[in-house]
Structure formats: structure tokens, C-alpha cells
Structure 1
Amino acid sequence: MDARQPGPVADSLDRRIISALQIDGRASWHRIATALGEAERTVVRRGTRLLDSGLVRIGAMALHGRSTVVGVRCAPGQARVAASALARRSDCVFTHVLTGSPDCVAELLCPREQLPSLVMDELPGLPGMVETFTLPVLRHIRTIREWHSGLLTDDEIAALARLRPSDHSASPSPPSSGDVPSSSAEDVLPPADMAHGISRPDRLLLNALAEDGRCTYEELGRVAGVSEATARRRLGALRREGRVRIRAVIEPALLGLPVEAMLWVRAAPAKAEAVAAALADSVHVRYASFVTGERQILVLAALPSESALYDFVTRGPWLRDVASVDTSLVIGSLKRGGMLARRARD
């Protein structure tokens, strides 16, 4: 639970730069400046300051396995312990500590064939746990990987969202000649890992990006044991195939949204799709998924104030077809976007 304050975020331009990095964490400063219509020198200075502050981190997340939401009710004083154990799992996407019940909630990427082992063998061993429940995700409505805060225009988002391999170098040095290098013996990578369909060099590359999503292709090649050109080509392929997303991982407070809440939404089955569509229209909905259980939709929302949260859960247009909403405040986050919070790492 990171108590640091968003001091380095000075104004709306800082927040717009953060929003751009949420769309593409490896976009060059030149590309971000062009999309935002700002001077490149200004964007370089501000963007570097934001990254150096540690409040904005760029991470990569490999997308494999099926999402399962895990809720945990803990013994008194044990919520941090149980949440930390969940957050330190390599398959954990996010872990939040909540008011009310459950005490903490996490999303895990768990292949369905491994779900019995998760439920019967792994979760019962969580320290401090009194009761757990598992909710396999049937369909994502929106994930943190797709959320935008509403600070950028559609044209700015479109300019940043286009995948252009030559634009993704985080290094100030010029990119290697050619976006797709000619084949060589070094370009032939070992067979894919049978568990996740990812080769060993690709996994090494992704591990490096998980720590620093803007590390250079030279660094990626050195870690993965391939050439810089091969690292560029492989990362481009992984991104085009949708196997990895690279974006800024932040506290929503940096964007002026300090109040987070987890909502458990129940609707009549025939109305659930309409509720989902209405939720997807809200910039305050950071995450929403159809899950199993008596409440079909799980929502993570971020808002500017508790009064705004009150309006959202009592007057929002998405409530028209909702039967009930249970609301819990997020009082601490140990992991976001697959990246541990600093205090959780210490």
C-alpha cells in the first residue's frame, strides 16, 4: 500500500503525458509530442521527470491463461499478509485491500485446467485466510490494459495506439535500419514453451520488460541472448499478436481520481449486456468483467471524490437495469497491471 503523494504531477500536460504512456508505454517522446501537439523538448523533460519520480512505471504483461477473480476474508489483522501472498504470485494481475467483505481481492491468470489445483490446494494455504471464493471470468468488458482516463481526444488516442515498430524504441539512439530484418541463424528461435506458447528468449525478453517497459532493444537482446534486430522483431510480433501489453502503471490519484471502489453488480440475466454496455461508456470504469456467481459483473471504478462515487452508484445511467450493487472502497493496492507496489517489494 503505497502512501507516496503525486507531487511530481504538476498540471494537465503531465497527466496527458501519463495518459499517452498508458496507451503505449514504449512510444517515443517524439511520437507522444506529435500526438499531443506539444513541443518535443517539453515532453522529454516532463516525461523523464515523471519516470524518474517512480510514480509512473512502465511494465509489460504477458497475456496467457484465463482470468479468475479471488476474494479472501481474513482473520483480524491479516489482510495485508494474505494480500501480499496473492500479490507475489507471478500469475497475479492486481491485488487490492478493501473495506467490507471480502477483505482483499485479486485477479489471477490461471489456465482452466489448473483451476482445481488453485481452489483445492493453493488458496487454502494462504496465510491469514479464513474463507476464499473464486469467480472465473467469463468475459472481460474492460480491463486496466484498455482503460483511458478521458484526458485525450479520440484522434490523440488513435495516433498513439497505432503499432509502428520503428516508433517503439525507448532509446535516444537511432533505430536499427529496417523494421523487419532479413533472416539469419540468430533469428530462428527455439520451440515455444509448451505451457504458454512462448519461447525461452521471448520469456526472457518479457521478464526484462516487466521490470522496465522502456528498456532499449540492445538491452533486450542482451538479456534474451539474441541480436538487437531480433529483439525488435520478436517484441513487435508479440505485441501484434496481442500476447503482451506495455503501458504505464500508476495510481489513479495521479490523474485526479483518488477514490477507488470495487462494485459487485447484479442484474436480471436478460439485462446484463445492457448494463455492461452502459458501464463501458463511463471513463470512471477502469475494469469490468462478467464473472460467475450470483452477482454477474465485477467493476473497479476510480472517481475524483466520495461524493462523485455516491452519484455514480445512485444516479449513474448504467443503473437503469441493475437489481443491486454492493460497494467496497479500495484502501490499498499491492499490485497493479502485474507490477508490485514499491512497499510490497520492500
Structure 2
Amino acid sequence: MVMESDMIWSPLAGLDLLDRRLVHALQIDGRAPFSRIAEVLGVSDQTVARRYGRLRRDRTVRVLGLTDPLRIGLTPWLVRVRCTPDAAASIGAALARHADARWVNLISGGTEISCLAHAATPGHDDTLLLQKLPRTPQVVHVAAHAMLHIFFGKDLSPVSRSSALAPDEAAALAPSDAPAGPPPEAFEAPVPLAPGDHLLLDALAHDGRAPAAELATVTGWSQSTVRRRLSELRAAGALYYDLDFGSGRLQSELRAGLWLEVEPARLAEVGAALAGHGEVAFAAATTGATNVYAAISCKDPGALYRYLTGPVAALPGLRRTETAPIHRLLKGPGPYPA
């Protein structure tokens, strides 16, 4: 049995109540106008703007506008890189500087790297990472597994489970242009992107709250066209907003990568179960012998033990597990470092 006190790492720890409520609001809709957030939180627009400005300036949190690679015709890869003992940190730092790489972590005591990789645009899906890594002398082994389906992630995170906002407050902030319908891989064709879309999405990857006037300058569109295209891309599932927390906020708890081998017939059931576990920050189905990956956070080694021997062990169709502690986060969800 997992104790309630084991759950969960939260990037909101250490923030005051208003900041926690603001961050929860931004996780629900990263591009919500400050006026709407202020109305829900019961404070002034200026207070919300000032608070977010400070959080971003201190590198506590920033909003990013990110693309769902599956929805725009890209294949995301979950990559594990085993290095010589003296090389993992430097290779990991080099990967973190590359726009193809997201969620770059040192794992297994700092001798291995894990990351999510995909090309920046369709038509260039042979990522530089997958081409060059095997030829790096200090790299001993590279394993890359295609990501097929996300059970929990994208615009959902541990913050989504926060109780900082009451249910009615969270509902009031839900975006009207959020995608609905089948998952990305169920669509017959990806969302087509024009050159202006790439400029727009690249700007949002730096700052998900960039003003419409700034985005209009970048794309050469009118502000009304920018707003319309943002809504279209979001409704189609190609664009979502996530929060990038300063790496120092992610080090206080025990974090680990969890690779599971699951009977194919139970894959969806296991994914749904993992999505409901408070310890899970991300979960996806992949190719390979281990066909499910989850990023998890627990309070301490005892909590991790209870999680592995409780909820994980009870998953249906589970054949094998592998756990690798995350030693250090080198890069979060966006293509560009903070």
C-alpha cells in the first residue's frame, strides 16, 4: 500500500499559496489572459502579471508553446545513451544544447543519458542525434525506441493533480480551443504546417506567452491571423502549452525512469492505470522489448520501494520492470534551454 504522504514530488513546493494557484492556472491554460486568471484567483491583473514576471525572471517557471510531434507527422524517439564513465556529463550537456533533444537526464548514477528526441520539422525526421551519437567515441551503446502513444504528458503534469485550485476554478480556466476527439495517432493525416506556422511555433517554443503583436512581427501576419492560427493549431492537437520549471526545482525528490514490458493486450489498460498514479509525471507506449516508459517521482527510496512493490507490481500483464534513478535533469520539455 502506498501512503498518501509518499505522493508526490511537486514543483509547487516552496511557493506561497498565490504562486501555487497561479502556476496551476498556467498549467491548465498557459496562454490564458492574465485578466481571466486574475478573475478566477480573486486578485488584480497587475498582481498576476507581476507574480508571473517574477517567477519567470527567477527561472522558477516559464510557459512554452510546444508541438505534438505525432500530430504533425514526426516520430519522437526515447533514446538511452550509455557512455564511458567520464563522458556522460559532457555529452549530456551537448545534447541539451541541441534543439532535437528534450528531457535530457543523467541516469543510472550519471553514467547513462536518457532523452526524448525528434526533428524540428516534418521531412527531416532523421534527427541529428540519432545520426551522430553512435559515432561519438565515448558512446558505448545507443538504444532508440519510437514513441507511439502518450498516456500522460504534454499539457498534463504533476501540477495538473494539484489542489491549489478548486474544481470549479479549474473548470473556469479550461481553454475553449482545447483538442477533443481521438488521440493523435488515430488521425489518417498529420496537421499540415506552412512556413509561417514554423516561425510561429518556433517563437512559442521560446515563450508560450509571447504577445500577439510580437508573433505578428515574427510571422508577417496580422494579429487577428495569429490569434486564429493559434486557436486552429491548438484545436487540432498540434499545439499545446506546458510549463518548464527551473532544474533546481526538480532535484529535491527521488526521480526515476521506469521501463516496463507489458503484454500487448494489456497495454492500454496499463497506460490508463499509470496515468492515474500520482507518482507518474509522464507515461507513453513505445516500440521495443520494454514497451512502456514512465517518468516517476517519489518522496524518498522507501516511497519508491512501496510504489514499485505496490501499484506497479499490481499492473495487469506486467512481465518485467527496469528502474533507473535520474541523477540530474539537464533540460526540460522545450527545444531551447532557458
The verdict on a shared fold, with TM-score over 0.5 as the criterion, is yes
The separation in 2 between residues aligned to 1:162 and 1:256, in whole angstroms, is: 31
1:29 equivalent in structure 2: 34
1:143 equivalent in structure 2: 153
Using the TM superposition, give the Cα deviation of residue 7 of structure 1 relative to its aligned residue in structure 2, in angstroms: 11
Counterpart AA for 1:145: D
Aligned equivalent of 1:324, options 316, 320, 323: 320
1:171 equivalent in structure 2: none
TM alignment of 1:1-346, pairs within 5 A: 9-36=14-41, 40=45, 42-64=47-69, 65-99=74-108, 103-109=112-118, 121-126=131-136, 128-149=138-159, 150-152=161-163, 153-163=166-176, 197-251=192-246, 254=249, 258-316=253-311, 319-321=314-316, 322-342=318-338
Counterpart AA for 2:299: P
Deviates more, 1:115-124 or 1:65-74: 115-124
2:186 equivalent in structure 1: none
* Unaligned segments of structure 2, at least 5 residues: 1-10, 179-189
The separation in 2 between residues aligned to 1:154 and 1:318, in whole angstroms, is: 31
1:185 equivalent in structure 2: none
Q: Secondary structure of the equivalent of 1:137?
A: strand
- Structure 1 pair 53/236, CA: closer, same or farther in 2 (3 Å)? same
Using the TM superposition, give the Cα deviation of residue 127 of structure 1 relative to its aligned residue in structure 2, in angstroms: 5.8
Counterpart AA for 1:76: P
Any conservation in 2 of the 1:23–1:148 contact (CA below 8 Å)?
A: no
* Unaligned segments of structure 1, at least 5 residues: 1-5, 166-194
Counterpart AA for 1:73: R
Any conservation in 1 of the 2:100–2:335 contact (CA below 8 Å)?
A: no
- Structure 1 pair 270/23, CA: closer, same or farther in 2 (3 Å)? same
Any conservation in 2 of the 1:71–1:102 contact (CA below 8 Å)?
A: no
Any conservation in 1 of the 2:32–2:173 contact (CA below 8 Å)?
A: yes
Q: Secondary structure of the equivalent of 1:226?
A: coil
2:184 equivalent in structure 1: none
Question: Which entry has the higher C-alpha Rg, 1 or 2?
Answer: 1
- Structure 1 pair 112/72, CA: closer, same or farther in 2 (3 Å)? farther
Counterpart AA for 2:33: S
- Structure 1 pair 254/13, CA: closer, same or farther in 2 (3 Å)? farther
1:168 equivalent in structure 2: none
Any conservation in 2 of the 1:333–1:341 contact (CA below 8 Å)?
A: no
Q: Secondary structure of the equivalent of 1:132?
A: strand
2:183 equivalent in structure 1: none
1:209-244 residue CA offsets vs partner (Å, 9 max, x unmatched):
111111111111111122222222222222222211
The separation in 1 between residues aligned to 2:130 and 2:240, in whole angstroms, is: 31
Using the TM superposition, give the Cα deviation of residue 253 of structure 1 relative to its aligned residue in structure 2, in angstroms: 7.0
Alpha-carbon RMSD: 3.3
Q: What is the TM-score when the length of structure 2 is the normalising length?
A: 0.78
Using the TM superposition, give the Cα deviation of residue 29 of structure 1 relative to its aligned residue in structure 2, in angstroms: 2.1
The separation in 1 between residues aligned to 2:291 and 2:330, in whole angstroms, is: 25
Identity %: 31
Deviates more, 1:34-43 or 1:215-224: 34-43
Any conservation in 1 of the 2:97–2:337 contact (CA below 8 Å)?
A: no
